Every structure is written in C-alpha cells, then in structure tokens.
Amino acid sequence: MPKLKTKSSAKKRFKISARGKVLSAQAGKRHGMIKRTNSQIRKLRGTTTLSKQDGKIVKSYMPYSLRG
C-alpha cells in the first residue's frame, strides 16, 4: 500500500495530545476585537480541546499522527 498523505491544513491547525485528544486554538480571535470585552479576549487565549466527534474527523486527516 502507498503511504497516505496528511492534510497540510490540519497539520498546521491541530495538535494531538499525549492522551489522543485534538488541541486547537480558541475560536473568535481573528478580527473584531474592538467589540469584545477584555474578559472575553482573555478567556480566548491558549488552546482548547475539540469534541470527540470533531476530533475523530481531524484525526482522519492526519493518518500518521501519534495515537491516530
């Protein structure tokens, strides 16, 4: 069998944790910061885990990721 290709977009946007969960950046920080409160902006820092269903889809895009 030939090797499977990883989706480049998924490789750049997601990371698989040691426990196999999918980590991604928080949504809602690309533009429009002026209309968000400071507390909202603070809470959107860092990363979050995807839901189990969404994580399954993302893992299918990265066939050779750890715990894929």
Q: What is the pLDDT of residue 35?
A: 96
Residues 52-59: contacts with CB under 8 Å, at least 24 apart: 54/22, 55/21, 55/22, 58/10, 58/14, 58/22, 59/16, 59/22
3 within a domain of the structure (yes/no): no
10 within a domain of the structure (yes/no): no
Distance CA 26, CA 44 (A): 6
Quote the domain boundaries for residue 30.
22-68
Q: What is the pLDDT of residue 1?
A: 86
Question: Is-above-0.95 flag for pTM?
Answer: no
Q: Which residue ranges of the chain lie beneath pLDDT 70?
A: 67-68
Q: What is the pLDDT of residue 58?
A: 95
Q: What is the pLDDT of residue 62?
A: 94
53 within a domain of the structure (yes/no): yes
36 within a domain of the structure (yes/no): yes
Q: What is the DSSP string of 40-56?
A: HHHHT-SEEEPPHHHHH
Distance CA 4, CA 51 (A): 25
